[in-house]
Chain A
């Protein structure tokens, strides 16, 4: 399993569109990818659940990936977050 923390920089936090695009991106991988904020955790491919985490600007999220392509998955998510959130 691979994991990393990321601090959200987008003003409105994880909002609908990037959450949707993130879900799309994560579906490309076989690994199970999750996003957690504090106690709450959501599957990264689930747009509404990710939005439901209520991640705001300045919040730290923990991204986890587990599966055969976890290295590639984690890199892709990292790149996506840096470019969009």
Chain B
């Protein structure tokens, strides 16, 4: 047994025989041609064929991996049409009377060199795209089809590196895994492999490819990035078990996708996701969350050196709302202060920042910051189903002030001709004991509650979240906390207000039944927990 180690880009286990990827058109001859016009016509024809192929690959990728990752092939088509690229090929044929294949190769090398020598990693990686389209063009000039893993049965495809088009062109039915000696985890191949759910390991080194041959028996562990060639019986047994368990786990999750969050006795609950950046929307959709229950707007402030403009915020909110395609998106207004400090806010140093000027307290003392965020939110509201949530509420008067500001912002925007849909919801975080205790007074003033269990625990139990030494005293299932949540739920429902939980407790499946019995309407958890909580909900029977 020989073990090679690279980097796993998709966690799964594959066991099977190797097929070494063979690529056509690697050798390009340098010929002298007399009929320049004929040679140029060949280029034109090959280009048409290449674009046709790319169009087909684009459509295949669209189905297999979705638009985001299929776009690269659209870019490839654009690159093939690039004026400079084409001019260079034609020029070489005209002036040096070389064959079309050679002209393409020289052009490809020049452009790839240009990208490779740029000082940013994104542009450097584009050198591979230039080579990819050029290899296709050369293959089309030869009239040959594209290369492929050959033979019947399923194989572990091994290669030096795979171009995006090569990954997609492979017959997925025949591929057990990818192992490449080179490549980066940002390469399109890695991304595509992840999306195809095929175990893949990159960067195992040249030695691997030199020693491996068709038909070798291997185990690919995408979790650890290890490849075992000719494994011993013990390794085979361990890995077979790992594979079986992984398949069962993924199947369970796959089975749960698209299923309702309903208990055995028919009680329904919404399961949403918590995110902190526009980039996480993909994970929300992948894990089949019904909406976003907490979108932390802080990233806009934390990633900036100055207050984010209304326009910047508007774009971010609009993008999330659009990407979520009409599903509910609850955006929490800025929650800066306490453990999240931003220099340009110039906040005073506080003895006890968790109880200091933070979140809504900043918004109410510096309304100009608040109004900018509200304007951006209301302007974006027409692009989806928006909920606006206010953090750190402790009193009725705070909520009155907030509602007055919101009204005035809406009036201002309406005067500017901005259309604000009627379905925008307004809600508050229940994360202070005060808010829970007066929830009967707060509920008539808003559309929803969302319980922030992390802060609620800290304030109720007087246990600093930031102090690890205090952990033995933190009982997250403390009766006091559960009673506060129950009280808030009852008061919410009396006043036609819905209630969710967006703190860490929402993902605690030992409490899912308790929450269902309280009548909690929504649980918002980190994207990777959505299906786990759904699984739990579907096992509960409240009639018992």
Determine chain B's interface SS by DSSP, over half rule: helix
| Contact indicator A46/B123 (Cβ below 8 Å) | no
| Contact indicator B83/A20 (Cβ below 8 Å) | no
CA gap between A46 and B72 in the complex, in Å: 17
* Chain B positions 92 through 130: 1 when the CB is less than 8 Å from some CB of chain A, otherwise 0: 000000000000000000010011001110110010011
| Contact indicator B78/A49 (Cβ below 8 Å) | no
Interface membership of A15, Cβ < 8 A: yes
Contacts of A15 in B (CB 8 A): 122
Contacts of B122 in A (CB 8 A): 12-13, 15
* Chain B positions 329 through 361: 1 when the CB is less than 8 Å from some CB of chain A, otherwise 0: 000000000000000000000000000000000
Give B129's nearest chain A residue, CB to CB: A16
| Contact indicator B84/A54 (Cβ below 8 Å) | no
Interface membership of B82, Cβ < 8 A: yes
CA gap between A51 and B122 in the complex, in Å: 11
| Contact indicator A23/B120 (Cβ below 8 Å) | no
Interface membership of A45, Cβ < 8 A: yes
Cβ contact of B83, chosen from A13, A17, A45, A52, cutoff 8 A: A45
Nearest-neighbour CB distance to chain A for B398, whole angstroms, equals: 34
Interface membership of B71, Cβ < 8 A: yes
| Contact indicator A51/B83 (Cβ below 8 Å) | no
Interface membership of B74, Cβ < 8 A: yes
| Contact indicator B119/A54 (Cβ below 8 Å) | yes
Interface membership of A56, Cβ < 8 A: yes
Interface membership of B370, Cβ < 8 A: no
Contacts of A36 in B (CB 8 A): none
CA gap between A12 and B111 in the complex, in Å: 20
Contacts of B126 in A (CB 8 A): 16, 51
CA gap between A56 and B82 in the complex, in Å: 21
Contacts of A56 in B (CB 8 A): 120
| Contact indicator B114/A23 (Cβ below 8 Å) | no
Contacts of B71 in A (CB 8 A): 17
Q: Known interface pairs A48-B82, A56-B120. Does A17 touch B111 (Cβ–Cβ under 8 Å)?
A: no
| Contact indicator A17/B75 (Cβ below 8 Å) | yes
Which B residues from 236 to 283 make CB contacts under 8 A with A? none
Contacts of A2 in B (CB 8 A): none
Nearest-neighbour CB distance to chain B for A66, whole angstroms, equals: 18
Q: Known interface pairs A51-B123, A52-B114, A56-B120. Does A16 touch B75 (Cβ–Cβ under 8 Å)?
A: yes
CA gap between A23 and B75 in the complex, in Å: 11
CA gap between A83 and B114 in the complex, in Å: 28
Nearest-neighbour CB distance to chain B for A85, whole angstroms, equals: 12
Interface membership of B85, Cβ < 8 A: yes
Interface membership of B540, Cβ < 8 A: no
| Contact indicator A49/B75 (Cβ below 8 Å) | no
CA gap between A28 and B75 in the complex, in Å: 18
Interface membership of A63, Cβ < 8 A: no
| Contact indicator B85/A48 (Cβ below 8 Å) | yes
Which B residues from 112 to 164 make CB contacts under 8 A with A? 114-115, 118-120, 122-123, 126, 129-130
Contacts of B209 in A (CB 8 A): none
Across chains A and B, which 8 residue pairs bring their CB atoms closest together, nearest first?
A20-B78, A16-B75, A47-B82, A48-B82, A46-B83, A12-B122, A54-B118, A46-B84
| Contact indicator A47/B78 (Cβ below 8 Å) | yes
What would 11 more interface pairs be, CB under 8 Å, given A16-B78, A54-B118, A54-B120?
A13-B122, A17-B75, A20-B79, A23-B78, A47-B79, A48-B84, A48-B130, A49-B84, A51-B123, A52-B114, A52-B115
Contacts of B78 in A (CB 8 A): 16, 20, 23-24, 47
CA gap between A35 and B82 in the complex, in Å: 16
Which A residues from 5 to 25 make CB contacts under 8 A with B? 9, 12-13, 15-17, 20, 23-24
Nearest-neighbour CB distance to chain B for A49, whole angstroms, equals: 5
Would you mind naming 11 contact pairs between A and B with Cβ atoms under 8 Å apart? A12-B122, A16-B79, A16-B126, A16-B129, A17-B71, A17-B74, A24-B78, A46-B82, A47-B82, A54-B118, A54-B119
